[in-house]
Amino acid sequence: MEHNRPRIGRPPLADPEVLRSRLLGFIDRAGYDQASMGSLAAEVGMSVRTLHRYFPAKADIVWGGIESSIETLTRELDNADDGLPVFEAVAGAVARVFDQNAEDLTVMRVRLRLIALTPELRANQSATFEAWRHAIIGFVARRRGEDARGLVAVTAGTAVHTAILEALSWWALHSEATDPAATIAAALSGLGALSVS
């Protein structure tokens, strides 16, 4: 009996981001816990071994693809206007990261919704997103003229980083919110307002 599923074998090299987009759609439909690497490989006509060459673990399909963002974030934080409040400067830097991100917003929403709804993914943040936390801590430390291991730098930087993740999760779960960068800016603005209220 014929079916439309692609033939398993060793296909020519695929574009990792095109592959990721297809796999995210499948995971979104099936559910993260239900989508095995075997079922994902079959969906795109690959062997499990070949799929592992692209994505060593299932979590890498969801969290991966943002590696270049840390370079942009670090550069933008390094070039931030010293006259801007910390929250506003970070929001501006993150907005420019999104400006340079070519990922379709629909795909981004699927990715972030999966992260928001899957405890395993939230508990195991990617190395890149963890690097965001360190970059923000370093920025806060520089603004305060203190060591990046200082109490305020670590706690304030981590709070900002957590606020960004929560804002992205909120954006992913609310279809009426159309701009992730604006959502982050609003969240950080609200967080900043708490310090002067």
Cβ(161)–Cβ(136) below 8 Å: yes
Confidence of residue 104 (pLDDT cuts 50, 70, 90): confident
Each residue's pLDDT tens digit, 9-65: 445 567 888 899 999 999 999 999 999 999 999 999 999 999 999 999 999 999 887
pLDDT at 6: 53
The CATH number of the domain holding residue 30 is 1.10.10
Least confident of 40-49, 62-71, 128-137: 62-71
Residues 87 and 172 in one domain: yes
pLDDT at 107: 87
> How many CB atoms lie under 10 A from the CB of residue 31?
11
Residues 96 and 129 in one domain: yes
Please give the residue range of the domain that contains residue 170.
67-194
Considering its fold, how many domains does the chain have in total? 2
Q: At residue 1, does pLDDT exceed 50?
A: no
Please tell me the pTM assigned to this model. 0.82
